[in-house]
Structure 1
Amino acid sequence: MSSPQARPDPAFALLDLYDTALPQVYGYLLARCGDRTQAEELTSETFLAAVQSARKPGTGPIGVGWLIGIARHKLVDHWRRREREERGFRLVRDEPGVEDPWDVELDAIQARQVLESLGAHHRCALTLRYLDGLPVPEVAGVMGRTVHATEALLVRARVAFRRAWTGGCDD
């Protein structure tokens, strides 16, 4: 009877490639984001994601091009995060008809508190749909539900949010 053979960790291939690929990945990111600190952070995220991806079955050949592809995805994720944050700031800052900007900030704080007071499934659905801006079918996919079940959940979540926001008064 033969003993099982230990397979080497596929992520070790990255060690051989690291010295060659690091300046190229960092240069790619720095040229696109223009911020050294951000490029360093994204480079770090790229190599961490590469290790995780290399360990998945069916991963193709590991090379600099493959790492640049991962870096591209990390950069796009960064831009999306930044856009969501800026969009939220714009919405709060540019609220029409508000005389006192503190009112808008207090509303944002209250909205966060109300959202945190909801059940996890309501909070998750509302966050994915309205804060992350995902369409209902994508929310359903993330939550592992059907589209119709997700639509019903969103209706219930909006009602729960409104009820919590108004203190139980549905005017």
Structure 2
Amino acid sequence: MSGTQPVPDSGPALLSLYDEALPEVYGYLLARCGRRALAEDLTAETFLAAVQACRSGSPPLSTGWLVGIARHKLVDHWRDLERLDRKLRLLDTDEVDDPWDAELDALLAREVLDALSPQHRASLTLRYLDGLPVAEVATVLGRTEQATEALLVRARHAFRRTYTALEGGPA
């Protein structure tokens, strides 16, 4: 026999821990990120990661373990925001000759992207966050290059309008 033992099913134990740990995990995340929707999303990601861990082994099921996963999910989120911030600062100024685009608040920019139409959000994300050239954005979106350029112009205007409105709004 090989040294591989069957992995015991820790799913029922995680399910029973869920009710007890959910308020603590959610509270931990909400206290650190300050946004209910984000805390809810990160809580869901935490429990999905816990399920994955249960499938691949016998993790130390405890509330502390789940809070540790939540901490990692929050750090991953902050890293993603930092990457977004860096990418937004490195906008291709040859194509967009406007210094306004280089000075964006990453959290506000994410909120603005979420508020845009799916087409605008997709085109801006592919072009400026993923760094794809317009021709590749067009291919991914199933549009002509000229139609994609026009879409990007409209998307940038929508982004600027929304960003400016939210930035100038009440804090």
Under TM normalisation by the shorter chain, which class is it? 0.5 to 0.7
Residue 100 in structure 1 maps to residue 97 in structure 2: yes
Q: CA deviation at 1:8?
A: 5.7
Q: CA deviation at 1:99?
A: 8.7
Gap change, CA 1:67 and 1:99, over 3 Å in 2: closer
Q: CA deviation at 1:100?
A: 2.4
Give deviations 1:17-37, integer Å, cap 9, x for gaps. Answer: 111100000000001101000
Q: Match for residue 62 of structure 2?
A: 63
Q: Match for residue 45 of structure 1?
A: 45
Q: CA deviation at 1:61?
A: 1.9
Q: CA deviation at 1:66?
A: 0.4
Task: State the 4+ residue runs in structure 1 displaced beyond 6 angstroms.
Answer: none
The one-letter amino acid of 1:112's match is L
TM-score by length of 2: 0.52
TM-score by length of 1: 0.52
Gap change, CA 1:7 and 1:35, over 3 Å in 2: same
Structure 2 CA distance, aligned partners of 1:7 and 1:73?
Answer: 25
The one-letter amino acid of 2:132's match is R
Larger radius of gyration: 1
Q: CA deviation at 1:87?
A: 1.1
Structure 2 CA distance, aligned partners of 1:26 and 1:99?
Answer: 41
Q: Match for residue 24 of structure 1?
A: 24
* Contact in 1 for aligned 2:7/2:56 (Cα 8 Å): no
Structure 2 CA distance, aligned partners of 1:66 and 1:98?
Answer: 47
The one-letter amino acid of 1:70's match is I
Q: CA deviation at 1:114?
A: 7.1
Structure 2 counterpart SS, 1:55: helix
Residue 36 in structure 1 maps to residue 36 in structure 2: yes
Structure 2 CA distance, aligned partners of 1:62 and 1:109?
Answer: 42
Structure 2 CA distance, aligned partners of 1:34 and 1:98?
Answer: 36
Gap change, CA 1:14 and 1:115, over 3 Å in 2: farther
* Contact in 1 for aligned 2:46/2:69 (Cα 8 Å): yes
Structure 1 CA distance, aligned partners of 2:16 and 2:79?
Answer: 32
Q: Match for residue 84 of structure 2?
A: 85
Structure 1 counterpart SS, 2:9: coil
Q: CA deviation at 1:60?
A: 3.5
Q: Over aligned residues, Cα RMSD in angstroms?
A: 3.4
Q: Match for residue 113 of structure 1?
A: 133
Q: Match for residue 75 of structure 2?
A: 76
Structure 1 CA distance, aligned partners of 2:80 and 2:135?
Answer: 20
Identical aligned pairs, as a percentage?
56
